[in-house]
Amino acid sequence: MKTFKKQYVLLPLVSLFVAGVVSAQSNEKPAIKNVKAKLDKAHNRLVVQYDVRDKEESVVSIALKISDDGGESYLVNTTSAKGDVGYPVKVGKRRRIFWNLPARARIEDLKIKLVADDLYKIDIQSIVNQVDSARVRNLILAINGERNYHSPQTLAHLGEVRKTIDNSYRGTGITPYRQIFAYPKEVKDHVGENIIGRIAGQYEENETYLLTAHYDCAPNSPGADDNATGVAGMLEAMRVLSQYDFEKSIKFINFDLEEDGCLGSKAYVDKNGIRRYENIASVINYDMIGFSSDEDSSQYIPEGFDQLFPVAYSEVSQNYFRGNFVINTSNEQSVEFGQRFTQAAGKYVPNLKVVSLMAEGDGEATPNLAASDHYEFWVNGFSALHIGDGGESRNVYLNGPDDVLKNINYRFVCDVVRATVGAFAEVAGARHVTIVYVSL
């Protein structure tokens, strides 16, 4: 697994939280105005002047962030900055920051932003509660229907689904981009398309969490559960999370051609889909999150499951083998993040049952647990979870013409999304900040 040196210093905010500096009453973000930036040629330094105020606080935290790649990332080392930067900075007028330009730096290549943080602790439950079941239902309706490369009709719907996904990204203010890769079949006019968007972190930008879901489906199936539910859930989680800022980055990926052997995720991991500055902290992959049943014995248990996963088997058997839980599948390197997901579900969505499985290695002995896009992350050394309803072990209609809308439990889908939103808001670190981009 590739890792990249962190080109920043995280402001000493953790100790402030521990010390109880955060105001429990604040709810208005800091305001930054009258921002000016100029080059002090005599001292070869950048000077940024600004006014800052906050309705509740007398001091705030200010971070100077610099980009040298056209604004794609803000990871230039600015730890040498002096003046009214860091914590604490008193609110007031004509605050100034001085930053000595590195050798050979070209000022015209740099982009600048200021991040003002009042250290207010955001209520994550209030974020979780914004998941909208009507939006999820409408997205599933729009995506449902055979979508693949197997006929002109199914290819046309695949294109419509891409437009739905693209519009959903843009509706949140996230500009999506495509990773195009070769379709390794005898279909000369087609290529695979991964659709990708990002919420950039404001402090540890290169630390990145991924939420993924494939948008194609099997031939001769409308793919309501597999995987219209996963795509809709991912897009709704993105909509909710996009209204906030975070310490770390969150990336959203809709993979193409999962049904043909996880070709989209393989292209992403193997063919430079991961940006040079990104360190993937962990991945949640949605694949089938909509089939749930409270009937006894509605959850099929594969042979040998009780020996491989005795704790999970005990949970399911005590629940009379009802298929009314979400399955959280990790491997050894991702088990810690799996625990974070389960804890978030218990905290923010207590009615959602979660059963956790840990595959040995990369799932070689349990191939059904590795049969989705998370597998490509596993085999490349990344932490990744599969979050799903158990697929064919519960949904007897999977990959057939009866994988239809009437079988979808929309409440269950939304509960899975709520648990995910809570987990991401925690691990990525929701922050109460104001961001201002500065022109020279």
So what's the pLDDT on residue 188?
A: 57
Domain membership of residue 383 (yes or no) is: yes
**For the whole model, what pTM was predicted?**
0.92
Question: Do 129 and 113 belong to one domain?
Answer: no
Under 8 Å CB-to-CB from 151, ≥6 apart: which residues? Answer: none
Residues 108 and 138 in one domain: no
Q: Which of 59, 92, 121 is the last residue of a domain?
A: 121
What is the model's pLDDT at position 187? 56
Domain boundary among 95, 121, 147: 121
Using left for φ > 0, alpha for ψ between -120 and 50, and beta otherwise, residue 83 falls in: left
Total count of domains within the chain: 2
pLDDT at 190: 80
- Cα 213 to Cα 262: distance, rounded to the nearest angstrom: 11
CATH number assigned to the domain comprising residue 42: 2.60.40
Helix (H, G, I), strand (E, B) or coil at 229: helix
Q: What is the domain range of residue 409?
A: 125-428
According to DSSP, the β-strands at 325-331 and 353-359 are parallel
Burial of 1: CB neighbours in 10 Å, binned 0-12, 13-18, 19+: exposed
141 and 111 in one domain?
no
Give the span between the Cα atoms of 267 and 198, in whole angstroms.
18
Return per-residue pLDDT of the chain as tens, 440 residues. Answer: 333 333 333 333 333 333 334 433 448 999 999 999 999 999 999 999 999 999 999 999 999 999 999 999 999 999 999 999 999 999 999 999 999 998 877 888 899 999 999 999 999 999 999 999 999 999 999 999 999 999 999 999 999 999 999 999 999 999 999 999 988 765 556 899 999 999 999 999 999 999 999 999 999 999 999 999 999 999 999 999 999 999 999 999 999 999 999 999 999 999 889 999 999 999 999 999 999 999 999 999 999 999 999 999 999 999 999 999 999 999 999 999 999 999 999 999 999 999 999 999 999 999 999 999 999 999 999 999 999 999 999 999 999 999 999 999 999 999 999 999 999 999 999 999 999 999 88
Indicate whether 66 and 129 sit together in one domain. no
The pLDDT assigned to 5 comes to 32
**Centroid of chain to Cα 163:** 20
At residue 186, the pLDDT reads 59
Last residue of a domain, one of 121, 156, 190: 121
Query: What pLDDT does 27 receive?
Result: 82
